Amino acid sequence: MNRVQLYRILYRHRSLSARRALDYEQNRSYKYMFYILYTFMISYLLFAAVMMSLAVNNMKGVNSMGMMTLFLPFILLLDLFIRFFYQQTPAQIVKPYMLLPIPRKVCIESFIGISLFNLGNAFWLVLFVPYCIMSVIFSYGLLATLMLLVFLSLAILLNSQLYLIFQTLSSQSLLWLLGLLPTYSLLALPAIWGGTLSTNSFYVFYTGIGISLSKANVWPLIILLLVLLGVVWLNREIQFRNVWNALTKVNGTTKISGKDRMAFLKHYGEVGEYAYLECKLISRNKFPRNAILTSMLVIALLSVVMSFTAAYDSQSMMAFWCTYNFVLLGITFFTRLLCMEGNYIDGLMVHPNSIYSLMRAKYYLHCILLIVPFVLMIPIVIVGKISLYMLIGYMLFTAGFQFFILFQSAVYNKHSQKLDGKFFSNRNVDRNYLQMFIGIMTFFFPLILTTVLNVLVSKTVCYTILAIAGIIGILTHKLWIRNVYGRMMSRRYENMEGFRATR
């Protein structure tokens, strides 16, 4: 069997992977919800393309190809952010094939090729193609239009490879995530060319690329293609070394300490016992520990950016990132509520109300953890970009209302989460569309609500409404957690069957 035949077989395996998943039937109905979401996103991109075209066409003396390349750095940053929610690395995919008589490098090369030529990378063409039809093709001709589309597509492919590299490296050490900052800061390098910050030099550099393409100069394509080939080769080597290290890794010895700083929780009854176990679960297992550390790091970085830069000074962006900082930990853990416990769910089912006490303990612990994003965002209050009352309102709303929505996933979750897995390596493997749907609804609902309230009432009244809704949810938490527990118990046999099958 030659390499081409192996590539075809491996590609067919990947295309059938979703149907072979144990939770395929469970995800099937929720998948249609995402088709609606994708349709909405495509419609939004089409609308953005039309608005950009109309704006550029009304500008005199502006090169429309240059304007598109000017927006490219911002598109690449948004594309990178989106990829963290759905794309897997080749090193994750290749591991099940290691026991087969197939060369490892052939598998890795095949899956890198799949990552290059998939529909996800063509998503931005929904923005690029209509813009080119309306603003480029009639002014600069078909050849220049094709050159622009090829340049933009190569940039997206390069972005996909950089994402795969950093995601793979971050599975070894979360410090590699810090490498994203200097790497993508290179996009802003033209703005500080000459030692001083200048938006004019940024404008001249990126529009110059588009202007050069409009004159049929191929040097931007050649340079970008050479960079892409180099990054693909680097990605191939990193993926191979990552798989080899995973196969040959020797676990170190476990050190046991006699100190137990969380023992005081045992004095608070059954809920305290489960809070103690939850703290041990997070501290002793790789997946929840890395999830906590990664979330804290992201919150800290966003707080620094919002405090000391003008990137998100608008009220809508402040509301967006304030919501994100508070709900990030909840989305990370509560969309998988009881999934980690699915590894030993039979033991929890022995005693009545044990799941109820466990969920209460989780709720209390994560309400306390909301203090972390609150403290990290205090500098934003000090510099005067948001008010302390806004921060309190969002925190109470998250604890009382958004956690209420996230807890509903416990009723339907039936896929065990590996405790020793790596955070980025496991978050997208199962493709649980219910978890994704609940997470997206939890994130975007307060944004829609605050936008409507800011139109109808003042900001103070808006934050008061959020705070009151949160307080009501906090005061009634025993009632709705009991309701979630009762609904979950009514389908416990179906859920337990799913947990056992996916351990």
Q: Based on the domain organization, do 139 and 285 belong to the same domain?
A: no
Q: Based on the domain organization, do 139 and 239 belong to the same domain?
A: yes
pLDDT in tens, 403-412: 998 888 888 8
* Residue 252 counted as domain residue: no
* Residue 257 counted as domain residue: no
| Mean pLDDT on 380-387 | 83
Q: Based on the domain organization, do 287 and 168 belong to the same domain?
A: no
Assess whether pLDDT exceeds 60 at residue 447.
yes
Which of residues 212, 247, 282 is at a domain's end? 247
Number of structural domains found in the chain = 2
Domain that holds residue 364: 263-501
What is the pLDDT, as a whole number, of residue 7? 67
Q: Is 353 helix (H, G, I), strand (E, B) or coil?
A: coil
Distances (CA, A) of 424 to 160, 217, 289, 328, 373: 15, 40, 12, 15, 21
Q: Based on the domain organization, do 357 and 493 belong to the same domain?
A: yes
Assess whether pLDDT exceeds 80 at residue 465.
yes
What is the pLDDT, as a whole number, of residue 351? 78
Q: Based on the domain organization, do 308 and 224 belong to the same domain?
A: no
d(CA 347, CA 358): 13
Q: Based on the domain organization, do 314 and 446 belong to the same domain?
A: yes
pLDDT in tens, 163-218: 888 878 877 776 777 777 778 878 878 877 655 667 788 888 888 898 999 888 89
* Residue 293 counted as domain residue: yes
Q: Based on the domain organization, do 241 and 272 belong to the same domain?
A: no
Residue environment code for 135-169, b if the CB has 16+ CB neighbours within 10 A, otherwise e: bbbeebeeebbebbbbbbbbbbbbbbbbbbbbbbb
Higher pLDDT, 184 or 17: 184
CA neighbor of 148 nearest in space, from 61, 220, 228, 196: 220
pLDDT in tens, 310-341: 666 677 777 777 888 888 888 888 878 888 88
Higher pLDDT, 101 or 499: 499
Which of residues 247, 281, 310 is at a domain's end? 247
Q: Based on the domain organization, do 207 and 278 belong to the same domain?
A: no
* Residue 390 counted as domain residue: yes
pTM of the model: 0.62
Tokens coding 89 = 């690395």
Q: Based on the domain organization, do 102 and 205 belong to the same domain?
A: yes
Q: Based on the domain organization, do 389 and 456 belong to the same domain?
A: yes
| Mean pLDDT on 345-364 | 85
User: If you average pLDDT over each of 151-165, 290-304, 412-426, 486-500, which comes out highest?
Assistant: 151-165
Q: Based on the domain organization, do 323 and 419 belong to the same domain?
A: yes
Q: Based on the domain organization, do 331 and 450 belong to the same domain?
A: yes
